[in-house]
């Protein structure tokens, strides 16, 4: 099957066209599906090179276009209008005026005669309607689709800034509030983010200093406040620090206008929204909405995933849920309502804890394979082939700002109910111990090569916690504890990364270098992530620069051992297999 996008817009959205390439007797025909979607440029895990769909956003006939040219899914109007208690039925009529088309909604109110009642134009207007006899019917569940709706995103880091940019693209007046004045000044001056995120700089170019403002002063009278501040673990403990959440609410609360909607999006312990955020809000106002809507995107692909992944919504009450749902429906087509704030909080934790568990199983298989002289990668690949009840992950380091801590947050949350999640705890210990395990293997291999660790040069390449999608982020990177362990044995560490700046690597304590400099006369090389640059760098040729005999530890199994047959004296190993000569 070949997939195309017909007449894509600036963001790559267009009509999906499919061609069946497997046909022995029928002509090959391109079928227009009438569905709207976009292509995903990332490679498919199956290894095929055919185009891959990012997602289906709706039918070609399912969209409303504003006078300003902004495209809205028809559900954006439907889900808002159906929440108005005054409306029993409605229809949306496209009216062609002299200058441009307008969309108007007309509805039937259930009270007193069921007469036809004109509602507000879409988009625009205040969040209320009028019933017959002039009685005003409030509908606080209605979130403005107006281009003048005001949203404040509290915390403009890897999560908050992409969200703020996407909301600005959706037509809102957005203020990104961050207490890091230097960061705010840099972004306002350069017009670009300090970190890599697909599509972010393009959105900043379009909206910064227009519908998107960044400030280090808390804004007032916003319709919606979305809190995205980080929740790192407290130093020396496995508990999340919730003080940033509390302080964030305290700073924005004095500026609350009438009936704000506050949405917590940070990863938190179960019960935080109700026990930490709610009391702070109530000190400032008694009329508000409160929801927890977790972020579940992958760093580097946050913007496309924000627009395609289902959004979990849990609220303090039904009205809060409806208001949050109406907002997020302008970003993503699928909303999943859940029964409570606590349910939504736990969903984020179990999503990442599940991933931690699956990686831990693969890593334990790797430890067993190493002990038995087998290949974990070979066994796992063979176990998965055409077997529908097996989807074992490949072994590897588990890092990043979420995966390494979210299981710990869940474990800490469960202490409140005196529950000990034994499987989760053991899985976290396995993944947490992996850098030290690899460091021990490296030291043993150096000694096997008759090299003193104290006089050895080792290159660690791949300091970012992952290589695909590319990021400069070293938070939770396994390279850091691995380096520290080797340095404790006085190994001289040289450091390289395709994205992470050399200054960051140098500040960590490694000697920053290029790949060529790192390989030159080194006793060994450790590849820590799966950045696509390794395939382009011709690592087998660079390995000839090593001081033979030497080792190459390929933690992701990016290369086959046979590719190093022409490298004299090299010992090669991936994670989950013993060192061997090609």
List pLDDT tens digits, range 331-358.
998 999 999 999 999 999 999 999 999 9
Query: What confidence category does residue 21 fall into, taking pLDDT thresholds of 50, 70 and 90?
Result: confident
Biggest alpha carbon–alpha carbon distance for the chain: 94
Higher pLDDT: 213 or 32? It is 213
Higher pLDDT: 78 or 104? It is 78
Query: What confidence category does residue 124 fall into, taking pLDDT thresholds of 50, 70 and 90?
Result: very low
**Looking at residue 23, what is its pLDDT?**
72
pTM: 0.75
Q: HEC string of 243-300?
A: HHHHHHHHHHHHHCCCCCEEEECCCCCCCHHHHHHHHHHHCCCCCCEEEECCCCCCCC
What is the average per-residue pLDDT within 495-505? 97
- pLDDT of 144 higher than 70: no
- DSSP symbol at 310: P
- pLDDT of 105 higher than 70: no
Tell me the two tokens of residue 577: 């297999």
Domains within the chain, CATH numbers bracketed: 2-61 (no CATH), 63-124 (no CATH), 150-184+215-339 (3.40.50.720), 350-427 (1.10.1040.10), 433-574 (3.40.50.720)
What is the average per-residue pLDDT within 78-100? 65
- DSSP symbol at 117: E
Tell me the two tokens of residue 354: 């599940």
**Looking at residue 235, what is its pLDDT?**
83
Query: What confidence category does residue 239 fall into, taking pLDDT thresholds of 50, 70 and 90?
Result: confident
**Looking at residue 27, what is its pLDDT?**
80
Contact 298, 305 (CB under 8 A): yes
Tell me the two tokens of residue 92: 């949306």
List pLDDT tens digits, range 391-410.
999 999 999 999 989 999 99
Higher pLDDT: 492 or 73? It is 492
Residues with Cβ within 8 Å of 98's Cβ and at least 6 positions away in sequence, in order, are: none
**Looking at residue 556, what is its pLDDT?**
95
Q: Is 489 exposed, middle or buried (0-12, 13-18, 19+ CB in 10 A)?
A: middle
Provide, rounded to the nearest whole percent, the portion of the chain with pLDDT above 70: 86
What is the average per-residue pLDDT within 558-571? 96
Residues with Cβ within 8 Å of 416's Cβ and at least 6 positions away in sequence, in order, are: 270, 271
Query: What confidence category does residue 14 fall into, taking pLDDT thresholds of 50, 70 and 90?
Result: confident
Q: Which of 134, 107, 137, 110 is nearest to 119 (CA)?
A: 107
- pLDDT of 147 higher than 80: no
- Measured CA to CA, the distance from residue 409 to residue 429 in angstroms comes to 14
Averaged pLDDT score across all residues of the chain? 88
């Amino acid at each position: 099957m070949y997939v195309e996008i017909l007449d894509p817009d600036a963001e790559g959205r267009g009509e999906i066209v499919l061609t069946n390439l497997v046909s022995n007797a029928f002509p090959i025909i391109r079928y227009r599906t009438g569905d709207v979607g976009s292509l995903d440029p990332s490679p498919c895990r199956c290894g095929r090179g055919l185009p891959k769909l990012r997602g289906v956003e709706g039918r070609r006939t399912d969209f409303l276009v504003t006078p300003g040219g902004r495209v809205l899914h028809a559900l954006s109007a439907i889900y808002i209008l159906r929440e108005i208690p005054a409306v029993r039925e409605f229809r949306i009529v496209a009216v062609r005026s002299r200058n441009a088309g307008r969309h108007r909604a007309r509805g039937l109110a259930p009270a007193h005669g069921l007469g036809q009642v004109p509602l507000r134009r879409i988009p625009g207007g205040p969040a209320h309607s009028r019933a017959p006899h002039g009685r005003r019917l409030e509908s606080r569940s209605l979130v403005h689709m107006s281009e003048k709706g005001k949203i404040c995103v509290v915390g403009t880091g890897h999560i908050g800034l992409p969200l703020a940019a996407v909301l600005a693209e959706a037509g809102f007046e957005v203020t990104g509030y961050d207490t890091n004045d230097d960061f705010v000044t840099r972004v306002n001056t350069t017009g670009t983010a300090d970190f890599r995120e697909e599509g972010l700089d393009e959105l900043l170019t379009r909206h910064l200093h227009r519908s998107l403002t960044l400030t280090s002063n808390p804004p007032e009278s916003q319709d919606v406040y979305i809190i995205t501040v980080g929740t790192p673990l407290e130093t020396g403990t496995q508990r999340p620090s919730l003080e940033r959440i509390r302080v964030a609410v305290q700073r924005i609360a004095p500026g609350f206008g009438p009936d704000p909607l506050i949405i917590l999006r940070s990863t938190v312990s179960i019960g935080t929204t109700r026990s930490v955020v709610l009391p702070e809000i109530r000190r400032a106002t008694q009329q508000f909405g409160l929801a927890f809507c977790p972020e579940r995107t992958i760093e580097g692909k946050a913007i496309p995933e924000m627009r395609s992944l289902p959004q979990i919504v849990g609220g303090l009450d039904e009205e809060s849920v409806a208001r949050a749902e109406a907002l997020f429906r302008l970003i993503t087509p699928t909303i999943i309502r859940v029964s409570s704030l606590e349910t939504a909080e736990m969903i984020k934790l179990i999503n990442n804890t599940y991933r931690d568990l699956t990686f831990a199983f693969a890593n334990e298989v790797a430890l067993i394979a190493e002990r038995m002289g087998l290949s974990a990668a070979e066994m796992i690949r063979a176990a998965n082939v055409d077997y529908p009840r097996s989807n074992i992950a490949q072994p590897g380091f588990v890092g990043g700002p979420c995966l390494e801590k979210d299981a710990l947050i869940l474990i800490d949350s469960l202490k409140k109910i005196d529950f000990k999640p034994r499987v989760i705890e053991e899985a976290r210990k396995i993944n947490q111990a992996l850098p030290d395990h690899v460091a021990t293997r490296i030291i043993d291999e150096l000694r096997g090569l008759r090299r003193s660790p104290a006089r050895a040069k080792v290159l660690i390449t791949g300091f970012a916690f992952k290589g695909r999608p590319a990021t400069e982020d070293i938070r939770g990177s396994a390279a850091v504890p691995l380096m520290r362990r080797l340095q404790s044995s006085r190994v001289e560490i040289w450091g390289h990364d395709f994205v992470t700046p050399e200054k960051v690597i140098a500040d960590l304590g490694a000697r920053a270098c290029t790949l060529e400099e790192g390989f030159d006369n080194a006793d060994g090389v450790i590849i820590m992530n799966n950045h696509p640059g390794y395939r382009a760098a011709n690592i087998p040729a660079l390995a000839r620069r090593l001081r033979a005999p030497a080792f190459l530890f390929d933690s992701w199994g990016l290369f086959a051992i046979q590719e190093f047959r022409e490298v004299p004296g090299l010992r090669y190993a991936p994670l989950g297999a013993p060192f061997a000569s090609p």
